[in-house]
Amino acid sequence: MPQPPVSPDQLKDACLLLVDDEQTNLTLLRLILGRAGYTRVHTLSDARDVLPLARALNPDLVVLDLRMPTMSGFTVLEGLVEQTAPDEFLPILVVTGDASQTARQRALKLGAKDFLTKPFEATEVLLRIHNLLVTRMLHESLRSQNELLEAKVKERTKQLERAVVQAEEANRAKSVFLATMSHELLTPLNAVIGFANELQKNHARNLLPQDLAYLQRISTNGLHLLRVINDVLDLSRVEAGKMDVDLAPVALDRVVAAVLKEMESRSVGTAVVPRVSLPPSLEPIEADEAKLRRVLINLVDNAVKFTDSGSYRVGIITESGTGRPLRLDVVDTGIGIAPDRVEKIFGAFEQVESGTRRRHEGTGLGLAIARALCEAMGYRLTAVSEPGRGSAFSVLFSPDAAPPRSYDDALRAYTPSSSEVPTRGT
Ligand SMILES: Nc1ncnc2c1ncn2[C@@H]1O[C@H](COP(=O)(O)OP(=O)(O)OP(=O)(O)O)[C@@H](O)[C@H]1O
Ligand SMILES: [Mg+2]
């Protein structure tokens, strides 16, 4: 059975203040209330004492006569309402011999919550008092809940403020660590690479082929380490919001051409053919050119690395009718990615192949950095793939740009395309 919102014990424990200049009325009311189980009933026959006593008692209900010789009930009513807090509900039940409409309306207007005329009927008085008390108790419990809530909100706000301060401190510590680390690691590393390169020149002609091979390995591994350290530092910088983004109008076709030229050397000797699909008209895009280049290099690098033979395509899709760039795709015909890995590979150090089974070089930072850079410029980076057929990575330049729904969808966007520009002897 559902619990009543206010328990009978709570009601019977309520503090009641009865005010009437007629002692007999007070006695009668006290008797009725006592029989009904009310235990805390106070009576007053001099109206002048009501306000101070009410302040001291903080009653849950006042039963008030209107016609009293020392002070009018209306005046008492006004005083009671005035000294009650605005968010408190103090039920005042007026019980009077004056049954006129004027008296009733005036009392209600001044703040009385209910009205009864004498002679009263015991059951009716009890019912009205019961109802008023229930309302009072509900009000009180609401008030205390509110206070509790307010206290909780205050406490949580304080905790949050503390957490923000801690986070800021941690962030500052991270920045200091990064600055120190970049100096402490990069300075000796650059020396290692620089001196290895210098020695490799074999000026004195006294180094054996074996020595030169070792030096070559020092240099290659040093450069690899340099790249990893720079990637980690970059990723931390973007994640800490410390990477400045310099937005300016950029011609996308120029960026694509430059990146493909730069990557040409990487695909030499492989059977991977690059293709480019550009729309007939292409507006410049607001971008940080160096960062956009870096994103594209990472995507093309992956396309080449994870495609044994076949091709990859860099394509741009614009809004129809205008040349506004919506999306840039890098679509390959490589090994593809299992569906449950497609989102994961954007995490730092996430690679599909792991441990000793890895056939491809890399640290697993390229996509994490590419996505972070895209987000820093206000873009999104998404992927769709089909294992065994290929993958498509898309940079979405604007919120209204839709990513390809599937790998086939990405392929379809560019076939057949009259604007296709094969870039290497195809
Ligand atoms: N085009 C792709 N085709 C298939 N798998 C891919 C492709 N691009 C990324 N992946 C998978 O996602 C992983 C993470 O890619 P990411 O570029 O972050 O790292 P990486 O290429 O291994 O190393 P790094 O880019 O740091 O040199 C790759 O190791 C690979 O397993
Ligand atoms: Mg990569």
Atom 25, ligand 1: which residue's CA is nearest?
366
Q: Which pLDDT belongs to residue 1?
A: 55
User: What pLDDT digit, counting tens, does each position of 263-276 carry?
Assistant: 887 666 677 889 99
Q: Where are the alpha helices (DSSP H) in 2-83?
A: 8-12, 23-35, 50-57, 73-82
Q: Is residue 305 part of a domain?
A: yes
Clarify whether residues 314 and 415 are in a common domain: yes
Q: Is the CB of 369 under 6 A from ligand 1?
A: no
The CA–CA distances, whole Å, from 403 to 228, 268, 329, 415 equal 30, 31, 9, 17
User: How many angstroms does the Cα of residue 405 sit away from the middle of ligand 1?
Assistant: 21
Q: Is the dihedral of CA 114, 4, 59, 89 positive or negative?
A: negative
Q: Is residue 148 part of a domain?
A: no
Pick the closest to residue 232 from 174, 150, 171, 163 (CA basis): 174
Clarify whether residues 291 and 214 are in a common domain: no
Q: What is the pLDDT along the chain (426 residues), one digit of tens a residue?
A: 555 667 888 899 999 999 999 999 999 999 999 999 999 999 999 999 999 999 999 999 999 999 999 999 999 999 999 999 988 999 999 998 887 899 999 999 999 999 999 888 999 999 999 999 999 999 999 999 999 999 999 999 999 999 999 988 887 787 778 777 778 888 999 999 999 999 999 999 999 999 999 999 999 999 989 988 888 888 877 777 777 889 999 999 999 999 999 888 766 667 788 999 999 999 999 999 999 999 999 999 999 999 988 889 999 999 988 999 999 999 999 999 999 999 999 988 888 876 555 567 788 899 999 999 999 999 999 999 999 999 999 999 999 999 999 999 999 999 764 444 444 433
Atom 29, ligand 1: which residue's CA is nearest?
351
User: What pLDDT digit, counting tens, does each position of 83-104 carry?
Assistant: 999 889 999 999 988 878 999 9
Please count the helices (runs of H) and the strands (runs of E) in the chain: 11, 13
Separation of alpha carbons 254 and 247, rounded Å: 16
Residue 14, domain CATH? 3.40.50.2300
User: How many domains would you assign to the chain?
Assistant: 3
Clarify whether residues 264 and 380 are in a common domain: yes
Q: Is the CB of 395 under 6 A from ligand 1?
A: no
CB 115 within 8 A of CB 86: no
Residue 398, domain CATH? 3.30.565.10
Q: Which pLDDT belongs to residue 358?
A: 59
User: How many angstroms does the Cα of residue 305 sit away from the middle of ligand 2?
Assistant: 8
Clarify whether residues 263 and 406 are in a common domain: yes
Q: Is residue 338 part of a domain?
A: yes
Clarify whether residues 55 and 204 are in a common domain: no
**SS3 of the chain: helix, strand, coil, percent, to 5:** 50, 15, 30
Clarify whether residues 196 and 53 are in a common domain: no
Boundary (domain end) residue, out of 56, 85, 120: 120
Q: Is residue 144 part of a domain?
A: no
Atom of ligand 1 nearest to the CA of 360: 22
73 Cβ neighbours under 8 A, 6+ residues apart: 19, 47, 64, 65, 66, 67, 94, 96, 107
Domain hosting 320: range is 248-422
Q: Is the CB of 74 under 6 A from ligand 1?
A: no
Q: Which pLDDT belongs to residue 248?
A: 96
Clarify whether residues 257 and 380 are in a common domain: yes
Clarify whether residues 308 and 408 are in a common domain: yes
Q: Is the CB of 394 under 6 A from ligand 1?
A: no
Separation of alpha carbons 24 and 22, rounded Å: 5
Clarify whether residues 194 and 59 are in a common domain: no
Atom 1, ligand 1: which residue's CA is nearest?
303
Q: Which pLDDT belongs to residue 422?
A: 44
Query: If you write DSSP's letter for every residue of 158-193 in order, what string do you get?
Result: HHHHHHHHHHHHHHHHHHHHHHHHHHHHHHHHHHHH
Q: Which pLDDT belongs to residue 423?
A: 47
- Tell me how many degrees the CA angle 82-83-86 measures, rounded to the nearest 5: 75
User: How many angstroms does the Cα of residue 308 sit away from the middle of ligand 1?
Assistant: 14
- Ligand 1 pocket mutation pick from 234, 302, 365, 389 by most atoms within 8 angstroms of CB: 302
Clarify whether residues 353 and 418 are in a common domain: yes
Atom of ligand 1 nearest to the CA of 330: 1
Q: Which pLDDT belongs to residue 321?
A: 87
Boundary (domain end) residue, out of 218, 239, 260: 239
Reply yes or no: is the peptide bond before residue 416 cis, omega within 30 of 0: yes
Q: Is the CB of 235 under 6 A from ligand 1?
A: no
Clarify whether residues 65 and 174 are in a common domain: no
Q: Is residue 126 part of a domain?
A: no
Q: Which pLDDT belongs to residue 356?
A: 55
Residue 346 structure tokens: 């954007």
For residue 396, what are the β-bridge partners?
327, 380
Quote the longest CA-to-CA distance of the chain.
128
Clarify whether residues 271 and 354 are in a common domain: yes
Q: Is the CB of 414 under 6 A from ligand 1?
A: no
Q: Which pLDDT belongs to residue 420?
A: 47
Separation of alpha carbons 101 and 87, rounded Å: 29
User: How many angstroms does the Cα of residue 236 sit away from the middle of ligand 1?
Assistant: 19
CB 253 within 8 A of CB 214: no
Q: Which pLDDT belongs to residue 135?
A: 94
Q: Which pLDDT belongs to residue 214?
A: 95
CB 77 within 8 A of CB 85: no
Question: How many other C-beta atoms can be found within 10 angstroms of the C-beta atom of residue 389?
Answer: 15
